[in-house]
Structure 1
Amino acid sequence: MSDFTQKLQNLIQQVGISSFKALSRNADVSEYQVLRLRQGKIEQMRLDVLLKLSKALQIPLSELLSTFLESDIEYQAPPNPQEIADLKREYERSQLQLQQQREILQQEFQQSSLQLLEPLLLQWPTAAQKARDNPELAAVKIVPLVQKPLEKLLQAWGIEAIAPVGSEIPYDPQLQQLKEGTAQPGEIVKVTHAGYIQGARLLYRATVSLVEKL
């Protein structure tokens, strides 16, 4: 297996990059991709990765290819200008396709979210106006307009509340944040503000307060 470590070392020194790890950061590519370049596996690397590396090393793509396509036995000539132009056009097409896919996914996400929030969007302005017109209107009648669409949205995204507001639960500092004071793990506390988890990922810790001991 060819080893181009010294060649790459010389290139990063020329542009003031301190290490291969720093090169991966500057080029926004993984350290594994830098390792593949050092091992002479450039033919197996994606074009977008090679373009990022050539930019970080401040050399043309053609020079990067000619440097790291060289074998131990014989020199391999770099691609001609037409091949480079074709590669660049292919990269630009792939970038355009990715952008279009992102826009489509964003539109689909917005559409699905709007469907879940439809009752709130349609009914909340009217309910809010009625509350302004009649300050004595019980808030409990308005709460479901907000609560039900929100619950459906959270359920669709796989998000769960850590514990209901007002419930008393054992203190877990990994999932809960004390408003004030200190508590030992397992000590009973009261939930004042909701926290949320999504699968195994913690989104927001629940806010809790100490329970007064009688």
Structure 2
Amino acid sequence: MSKSSKPNYTDSLQTLMQRVGISSFKALASASGVSQKQIMRLRRGEVEQMRVETILKLAQVLKVPINVLMRTFLNSEIAQPPTEDKTIATLKQEYQKLQHQLEQQKQTLLQEFQLSTLQVLESCLLQLPTFEFKVKEHPEISATKLLPLIRPLQQLLQQWGIEQIAPVGEKIPYNPQLHQLLSGNAQPSDLVIVRYTGYIQGEKLLYRAKVSLVE
């Protein structure tokens, strides 16, 4: 490569893209969330002028270690080996820092999720132990008084978009994809009764309903 010509790493980038099934620079930009302007910088060997977050996103999508990506696209005419090694070491430190920040964000989101869930279940959590204590002292207490404590759980399931497959006790046609027979055999459309309800979330099956044949 002469000093008058600009470095071009397009072929190197296309080789990495082909390995992960990315057919165009536009598709690479879409998959990584990196602008095509930044991808052009990579093709020109201007990797030292790019942000660490940008290089990290591209490395993840191209499925190569960040130090390999750096060595592949670092312009050797403007960067001597000692500078290159120092840059890679700095990027590794930044990468570790980002990983730590992501882990902290993950913990924060988990705590927020747990707190919001507890707020919905607050009445259930506060009253259920008291109800359990009273039932032990007075076994004759009607179990129907327990039903209001279940409502917060029902509200939580509704917020998450989780629905029952069918109510307990309902008689419905047997569907092997949604139902699990407790005993015996059944053909699709045979009438069964729901013994334990199942749950779905959108189109995803969480738990099949447990059913038995109607005698």
Q: Hey, what's the Cα distance between the residues in 1 that align with 2:153 and 2:13?
A: 56
Evaluate the alpha carbon distance shift between residue 70 and residue 106 of structure 1 in structure 2; reply closer, same or farther with a 3 A threshold. Answer: closer
SS at match of 1:136: coil
Taking the TM superposition and a 5 Å limit, the aligned residue runs for 1:9-28 are none
1:47 is matched with which residue: 42, 45, 56?
A: 56
Q: Hey, what's the Cα distance between the residues in 2 that align with 1:5 and 1:76?
A: 23
Q: Hey, what's the Cα distance between the residues in 2 that align with 1:86 and 1:5?
A: 26
Runs of 4+ in 1 over 3 A off after TM superposition: 3-6, 43-46, 48-55, 63-66, 68-71, 74-79
Q: CA RMSD in A?
A: 3.3
Q: Hey, what's the Cα distance between the residues in 2 that align with 1:178 and 1:46?
A: 53
Task: Indicate the residue corresponding to 2:188 in structure 1.
Answer: 185
**What 5-or-longer segments of structure 1 have no aligned partner?**
9-19, 21-30, 56-60
TM-score (norm 2): 0.68
**What 5-or-longer segments of structure 2 have no aligned partner?**
1-9, 26-38, 44-53
Deviation string for 1:101-121 (max 9, x for gaps)? 111111110111001110111
| Residue 204 (structure 1) shift | 0.5
Identity across the alignment (%): 47
Task: Indicate the residue corresponding to 1:156 in structure 2.
Answer: 159
SS at match of 1:160: strand
Is 2:128 aligned against 1:119?
no
Taking the TM superposition and a 5 Å limit, the aligned residue runs for 1:6-155 are 31-32=20-21, 43=42, 46-47=55-56, 50=59, 53-54=64-65, 61=67, 65-66=70-71, 68-69=72-73, 80-145=84-149, 147-155=150-158
Deviation string for 1:12-66 (max 9, x for gaps)? xxxxxxxx8xxxxxxxxxx448xx9xxxx9x4884377497449xxxxx3x6643
| Residue 2 (structure 1) shift | 2.4
1:170 is matched with which residue: 164, 169, 173?
A: 173
Deviation string for 1:146-203 (max 9, x for gaps)? x211101101111000000010111111111111111111111100001000011110
TM-score (norm 1): 0.68
Q: State whether residues 123 and 152 of structure 2, in contact with CA within 8 Å, keep that contact through their aligned partners in structure 1.
A: yes
